[in-house]
């Protein structure tokens, strides 16, 4: 079967033919136009059916993406829960490093983080402008506190320990 494009071009060529002087040719041309017109309508119907099938497939893909995204989040949470259990077990048993055949697991010391005790007391130089709010620039405050400076409203604290797997 011809493509919709080919059928449309054929139909246009048939319309452009001059059949005024030949009655038999005019009748044959009219029959051919009717047949081609029917083929075009069949092809249009089939094309719309394919388009609807593709729409349904696209919707199914969207649903699968949503399902897989939820599954990914669940798997990531489970992986983090495993790491948290290992860290808890290492802390509870006083282990800092475990060497195994596949890898070495090290309980890293917590990095120092900034604990903002009073955001309003933080000097202007240690803040950054966030649209509609003023937030403390923790990276700058951390540098200042580590350098021995006193930053009002801030202190150093130990963050959460982490695992290094090498």
What confidence tens digit (pLDDT) does each residue in 81-101 have?
999 999 999 999 999 999 999
- Assess whether pLDDT exceeds 80 at residue 26: no
Show the domain range for 23: 4-87
* Higher pLDDT among residues 151 and 135, named by residue: 151
**Are 123 and 83 contained in the same domain?**
no
- What are the b/e assignments for 100-124, b being 16+ CB within 10 Å? eeeeebbbeeeeeebebeeeeebee
**Are 69 and 112 contained in the same domain?**
no
- Assess whether pLDDT exceeds 70 at residue 19: no
Structure tokens at 95: 């282990």
Q: What is the pTM of this model?
A: 0.53
- How many domains would you assign to the chain? 2
**Class of residue 161 by CB neighbours under 10 A (exposed 0-12, middle 13-18, buried 19+):** middle
**Are 28 and 75 contained in the same domain?**
yes
- Predicted confidence at residue 105, as pLDDT, reads 95
- Assess whether pLDDT exceeds 90 at residue 159: no
| 96-110, 114-128, 151-165: least confidently modelled range | 151-165
- Assess whether pLDDT exceeds 70 at residue 20: no
Domain end (from 53, 87, 121)? 87
Q: 132-136: long-range contacts (C-beta < 8 A, 24 or more apart)?
A: none
- Predicted confidence at residue 5, as pLDDT, reads 81
């Amino acid at each position: 079967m011809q493509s919709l494009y080919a059928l449309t071009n054929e139909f246009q060529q048939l319309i452009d033919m001059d059949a005024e002087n030949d009655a038999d040719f005019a009748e044959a041309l009219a029959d051919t136009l009717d047949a081609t017109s029917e083929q075009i309508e069949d092809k249009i119907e089939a094309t719309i059916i394919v388009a609807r099938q593709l729409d349904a497939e696209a919707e199914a893909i969207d649903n699968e993406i949503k399902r897989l995204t939820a599954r990914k989040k669940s798997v990531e949470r489970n992986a983090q829960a495993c790491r948290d259990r290992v860290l808890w077990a290492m802390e509870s048993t006083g282990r800092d490093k475990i060497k195994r055949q596949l890898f070495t697991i090290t309980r890293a010391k917590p990095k120092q983080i900034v604990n903002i005790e009073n955001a309003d007391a933080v000097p202007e130089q240690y803040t950054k402008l966030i649209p509609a709010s003023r937030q403390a620039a923790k990276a700058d405050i951390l540098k200042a506190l580590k350098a021995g400076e006193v930053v009002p409203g801030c202190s150093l604290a130990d963050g959460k320990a982490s695992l290094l797997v090498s």
